[in-house]
Amino acid sequence: MTMTPEEINRTVSQLLDQAPGRSTRARESVLNILLSAPTALNHHNIEEVAKQRDLSIDRVTLYRTLDWLVEQGVAHRIASVNRSWYFSAVAQPDMEPHAHFHCKKCQQIYCLEDVQAAPMHNLPKEYQLEEADLCLQGQCVTCNRDANG
C-alpha cells in the first residue's frame, strides 16, 4: 500500500473514472488522502490532513463524500470502539474481508489484509450470517517497538 504520489494520483483518477458519478475536487482529495494513509482514518483525521495540505473540505461534504466512496466500493467503513467511523481506501475491487487492529496506545486502526475471521463451527444454524468482523485490540508494531527500545 506504499505508493508514490504519482501512483496515488493515477489510482485516484482510475477509481473515480470507473465510478458512475462525477469526479469532483472533494472526492479526489479525500480518496487521495485515504490512499496516502498507512492506517484507517476517521472524519477528524481526514479533516486534519486536508488542513495540512491547504485543502478546505466542508464537514458535511466530507460525510457525504465518504458515504459515496463506500457506496462505490472505493473505500470501506470500519466501526471502532470510540464511536466514530474509520475509513480506508480499497485500491483493488476484489479485496477480501479482513481483520482490523485497534492500537490502544496510539489509537490507530490498521487493516490486516492477511488476517481473516475464521469460519465458525458452532454458530446455531438458525442465525443467518452475512458478515463477520474480527476486531483485534492491543499494541501495534510501532508502539511495541517504541516501548521495547
Site string for a second copy, 116-145 (x = CB under 8 A): -xx-x-xxx-xxxxxxxxxxxxxxxx--xx
Specify whether the CB–CB gap between 91 and 7 falls below 8 A.
no
Q: Is residue 73 within the footprint of DNA (CB under 7 A)?
A: no
Cell of 99: 481483520
Whole-number Å distance between alpha carbons of 78 and 88: 8
Q: Is residue 96 within the footprint of a second copy (CB under 8 A)?
A: no
CA 141 to chain centre: 18
Cell of 112: 490486516
Q: Compute how many other C-beta atoms are within 10 angstroms of the C-beta atom of residue 65.
A: 22
Q: Is residue 72 within the footprint of DNA (CB under 7 A)?
A: no
Q: Is residue 26 within the footprint of DNA (CB under 7 A)?
A: yes
The entry of a second copy, DNA, none near residue 100 (CB within 5 to 8 angstroms by kind) is none
Q: Is 111 annotated as a binding residue?
A: no
CB of 117 vs a second copy, minimal distance in Å: 6
Going by C-alpha positions, the residue among 124, 127, 131, 129 that lies closest to residue 100 is 131
Q: Is residue 79 within the footprint of a second copy (CB under 8 A)?
A: yes
Q: Is residue 3 within the footprint of a second copy (CB under 8 A)?
A: no
Specify whether the CB–CB gap between 111 and 40 falls below 8 A.
yes
Burial tier of 32 (Cβ tally within 10 Å: 0-12, 13-18, 19+):
buried
Q: Is residue 36 within the footprint of a second copy (CB under 8 A)?
A: no
The entry of DNA, a second copy, none near residue 45 (CB within 5 to 8 angstroms by kind) is none
CB of 35 vs DNA, minimal distance in Å: 17
Binding site for DNA (CB under 7 A): 21-27, 42-44, 56-61, 63-65, 67-68, 82-85
